[in-house]
Amino acid sequence: MSLLITDECINCDVCEPECPNGAITQGDEIYIIAPSLCTECVGHYETSQCVEVCPVDCIIPHPQHEETRDELLLKYQHLIKKTA
């Protein structure tokens, strides 16, 4: 499943550069994660890097975008092919 940044986000700017897929961008009020680009760092790291660095723990699994680890790996492989 992709991740979601809740409205508890304090716009500290630490999550955006950690995302290897470029899924995190500044929204109108808080940072947002594009579900189509978020692989929870599957294919890159063992853990979600944005979750690791978030000082207020405001990044949670997105309830509307449930995906298995295998589905996240397929998404990662698709994203890599697009950039190659």
Where along the chain do its domains lie? 3-83
> What was the pLDDT predicted at 1?
75
pLDDT at 6 over 70: yes
Q: Distance (Å, rounded) from C-alpha 6 to C-alpha 83?
A: 29
Q: What is 3-83's CATH topology?
A: Alpha-Beta Plaits (3.30.70)
Whether 10 shows a pLDDT value over 90: the answer reads yes
pTM, rounded to two decimals: 0.91
